[in-house]
């Protein structure tokens, strides 16, 4: 079994990154390589309105399956506010061994007031979590 400097091996599957985004696009370039364009990567944003509202973030998890891994796992994203779970997404994930993949996660979270901070714990199966913070700021002042 080959092992990377960080301890990852050909038999593991790992979350490479988890980010809040506005949009994700894919494009083929010469030679058949695929590029992923992430637009609006963010760790905070102004609330759309003053007062209570619902926030529906878009989170993308980029994953890698080792060449000797089955390619199957369960992706879990748990959203916490002040240590309390406010949303959870669990979904199966299939990635061709030796390749990269992604999964989009969307939650609906009630925001009572701003600023409002969320920590999202993203992991595969029972593996270690990547923690992604996000802060909903006060609404931007209107020009009216």
Asked, as a colleague might, if the bond just before 115 is cis with ω within 30 of 0, I would say yes
What fold is seen in the domain 13-137? Answer: Immunoglobulin-like (2.60.40)
Residue 7 has pLDDT above 60, yes or no: no
Q: What is the mean pLDDT of the chain?
A: 90
- Would you state the pLDDT for residue 51? 84
Residue 112 has pLDDT above 50, yes or no: yes
For the chain, what is the radius of gyration of the CA atoms? 17
Mean pLDDT, residues 109-134: 94
Q: Higher model confidence: residue 105 or residue 3?
A: 105
Exposure string over 6-19, b if 16+ CB within 10 A, otherwise e: eeeeeebbbbeebb
Residue 17 has pLDDT above 50, yes or no: yes
Residue 49 has pLDDT above 70, yes or no: yes
The pLDDT confidence band at residue 143, using thresholds 50, 70 and 90, is low
List the one residue out of 18, 8, 10 whose CA is nearest residue 123: 18
Mean pLDDT, residues 79-88: 95
The pLDDT confidence band at residue 11, using thresholds 50, 70 and 90, is confident
pLDDT tens for residues 64-82?
Answer: 999 999 999 999 999 999 9
């Amino acid at each position: 079994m080959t092992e990377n400097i960080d301890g990852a091996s050909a038999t593991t599957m790992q979350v490479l990154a988890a980010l809040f985004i506005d949009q994700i696009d894919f494009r083929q370039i010469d030679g058949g390589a695929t590029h992923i364009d992430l637009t609006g990567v963010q760790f905070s944003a102004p609330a759309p309105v003053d007062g209570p509202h619902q926030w529906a973030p878009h989170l993308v998890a980029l994953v890698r399956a080792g060449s000797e891994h089955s390619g199957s796992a369960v992706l879990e994203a748990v959203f916490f506010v002040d240590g309390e779970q406010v949303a959870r997404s669990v979904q199966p994930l299939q990635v061709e061994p030796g390749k990269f993949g992604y999964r989009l996660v969307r939650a609906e979270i009630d925001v009572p007031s701003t600023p409002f901070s969320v920590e999202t714990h993203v992991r595969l199966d029972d593996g270690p979590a990547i923690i992604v913070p996000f802060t909903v700021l006060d609404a931007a002042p209107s020009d009216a």
